[in-house]
Amino acid sequence: MKLADFAHCPRCASPMDERDLDGHARRVCPDADCGFVYYGNPTPVVAAIVERGGDVVLVRNVGWPETWYGLVSGFLERSEDPADGVLREVREELGLEAELVSLIGAYGFDQMNQVILAYHVRVPADAVITPQPDEIADTKLVPVGKLRPWPFGTGAAVADWLASRS
């Protein structure tokens, strides 16, 4: 959400003011009894490099251009352990039970105001992929040797994972 879009206080419904607070533009409730500050904290997201045999499973989300493929990813649920969340996303989006291999890292994705916790997971080489049709428009298997990172979002996790393999 952009700061300009946050027009009213979620606690008292007063029109929000924009002020400099700790060196950042923040939306602040002007009501002294309320004092709500909208910090715009990033949303936690989990992402998985799903390894199946010698391939990585990439997905094209519904609504993405036909040439865009990325990692399985989704929002972390309240009180959910990130490792459990990434396994849940793989199960929900691909119909696969995965084994957690390792945490790859944490990555800021400023364009979407997210922090991405990326993991390497593995599924059996003969696992049947069953994409969730309301979320996943297509999947493709890319041999690990041909996988190339992209310049945004989960692409940094792919770059780090590939570098760790050499």
User: pLDDT, tens digit, for every residue of 68-113?
Assistant: 999 999 999 999 999 999 999 999 999 999 999 999 999 999 888 9
> Quick one: what percent of the chain has pLDDT higher than 70?
97
- Residue 7 in this model has a pLDDT that exceeds 60: yes
What is the domain extent for residue 16? 3-38
Number of domains in the chain: 2
Residues 26, 50, single domain; the answer is: no
pLDDT tens digits along 33-68: 999 999 888 999 999 999 999 999 999 999 999 999
Residues 56, 34, single domain; the answer is: no
Residues 26, 57, single domain; the answer is: no
What pLDDT is attached to residue 2?
52
Q: Is the pTM of this model over 0.75?
A: yes
Domain of residue 118, CATH code: 3.90.79.10
Residues 88, 140, single domain; the answer is: yes
Residues 32, 96, single domain; the answer is: no
- Residue 3 in this model has a pLDDT that exceeds 80: no
Alpha carbon distance 75, 89 (integer Å): 9
Give the up-direction half-sphere exposure of residue 22: CA atoms within 13 A in the CB hemisphere: 6
Residues 22, 78, single domain; the answer is: no
User: What is the rounded average pLDDT of the residues 122-129?
Assistant: 98
β-pair type (114-123, 99-109): antiparallel
Indicate the pLDDT class of residue 5, thresholds 50, 70 and 90: low
User: What residue type is assigned to position 129 of the chain?
Assistant: I
Which residues lie closer than 8 Å to 151 by C-beta, 6 or more apart? none
Residues 48, 89, single domain; the answer is: yes
Indicate the pLDDT class of residue 22, thresholds 50, 70 and 90: confident
